[in-house]
Amino acid sequence: MDQRPRLDDVAARVGVSTASVSLVLRGAPGPSAETRRRVLEAAAELGYRADRTASLLARRRRHLLGVMLDIRSQFHAELVEEIQAEADRVGYEIVLSTLTRHRDEDRAVETLLDFRCEALLLIGPDAADDRLAALAAQVPVVAIGRRVAAGDVDVVRSADQVGVSEALDHLIGLGHRHIALVDGGRGVVAAARRRGYRDGMRRAGLADEIRIVPGDHTEEGGIRAGRRLAAASDRPTAVVASNDRCAVGLMDAFLRGGLDVPGQISVVGYDDSTLARLAHIDLTTINQDPAAQASHAVLAAVQRLDEGRKQRLEIVLNPRLVVRGSTAAVS
């Protein structure tokens, strides 16, 4: 049995991750001077020697993480900023491939593969589980923001049903019963939030009040839904939007239709994007902790690449409600 000291033995001695030890031993940027000193001392004390074969293979590595994002989503942009910071910390670079009106997921992923990215971090992918599983058989894949039930895909996501439940609990606590949801469309993330809305309304004894209005994850989708709701004779007193962009569109339609937010109708978004924090928007919304999602996603990829982890990983983070000025007690 091979009793030679391993990378994780050095990491355990110092009390840092194996990724940090790997960075120090290959002279990559990231760890502090103190961490470097302690790692090198521990390696010497333990008699650790890097595997020459592994070192030769490592020299051929590109240390590139491919990230797919929707260029139209402010939340995706914030998440990428956090991913870049975390990748810098562990000595990796990122390559971005965008989704647009004219560029779908297949093309975005193919671009990342063409760049020979060692792992893919896909933000909110809508591809079927079996498609993602097939991709993960070629290269490590981390799906950020959605559940994946098949294959060897690592998952880092927010508990969407918990987030929608927090939004409903907040509105119900303000006396609202006629609460509608503006749907996010056909995507997997939108489906999870739709499911959370239905479940939350039923738990609150408001099954008869369930009302789902067609929409999507854009301002235009929110505007269309807002016009429809503003013109309805049975207008709800509160609306949960599937994301912040949709919520901003709703508020725009309500303002143009002469409805006061939150005096006549309350609005809750989802994402807590920088847009939601602007003073003239002041949107009550659900924060998904993009920094934590980014950290876990990069770590999941690095564990696959640097540490040889084989088992599938799923990290589920609890979102939190951020109350601002777009919600008030029912009048």
The enclosing domain of 206 has a CATH number of 3.40.50.2300
Q: Are residues 217 and 123 in the same domain?
A: no
Q: What is the pLDDT of residue 96?
A: 97
pTM for the complete prediction?
A: 0.79
Percent pLDDT > 70 in the chain is 95
**Tokens 């209005």 label which residue?**
213
The whole-angstrom separation of Cα 117 and Cα 94 is 8
Q: Are residues 14 and 70 in the same domain?
A: no
Is 2 a domain residue? no
Q: Are residues 304 and 238 in the same domain?
A: no
Q: Are residues 247 and 309 in the same domain?
A: no
Q: Are residues 130 and 188 in the same domain?
A: no
Does pLDDT of 144 surpass 50? yes
Total Cβ atoms within 10 A of residue 263: 9
- Residue-averaged pLDDT of the chain: 91
Q: Are residues 195 and 269 in the same domain?
A: yes
Is 77 a domain residue? yes
* Over residues 70-97, mean pLDDT: 94
Q: Are residues 224 and 82 in the same domain?
A: no
The whole-angstrom separation of Cα 46 and Cα 56 is 22
Q: What is the pLDDT of residue 31?
A: 79
Q: What is the pLDDT of residue 1?
A: 46
**Tokens 């509105």 label which residue?**
171
Q: Are residues 271 and 307 in the same domain?
A: no
* Over residues 207-235, mean pLDDT: 96
Q: What is the pLDDT of residue 278?
A: 94
Q: What is the pLDDT of residue 101?
A: 87
DSSP state of 274: G
* Over residues 47-70, mean pLDDT: 72
The whole-angstrom separation of Cα 77 and Cα 69 is 8
* Over residues 109-134, mean pLDDT: 95
Is 256 a domain residue? yes
Q: What is the pLDDT of residue 146?
A: 92
The whole-angstrom separation of Cα 123 and Cα 130 is 17
Please write the tens of the pLDDT for every residue from 16-37.
888 788 788 877 667 788 888 8
For residue 250, give the 3-state DSSP assignment.
Answer: helix
Domain coverage including residue 122: 64-158+289-318
How many domains does the structure of the chain reveal? 3
Q: What is the pLDDT of residue 197?
A: 97
Give me the amino acid identity at 296. H
Q: Give the residue with greater pLDDT, 46 vs 251.
A: 251
Q: Are residues 89 and 41 in the same domain?
A: no
Is 327 a domain residue? no
Please write the tens of the pLDDT for every residue from 88-98.
999 999 999 99
* Over residues 241-257, mean pLDDT: 96
Q: Are residues 242 and 312 in the same domain?
A: no
Q: Are residues 32 and 85 in the same domain?
A: no
For residue 145, give the nearest of 34, 330, 296, 246 by alpha carbon: 296
> What is the rounded end-to-end Cα distance, in angstroms, of the chain?
74
Is 329 a domain residue? no
Is 48 a domain residue? yes
Is 331 a domain residue? no
Q: Are residues 283 and 293 in the same domain?
A: no
Is 206 a domain residue? yes
Does pLDDT of 2 surpass 80? no
Residue 30 belongs to a domain with what CATH number?
Answer: 1.10.260.40
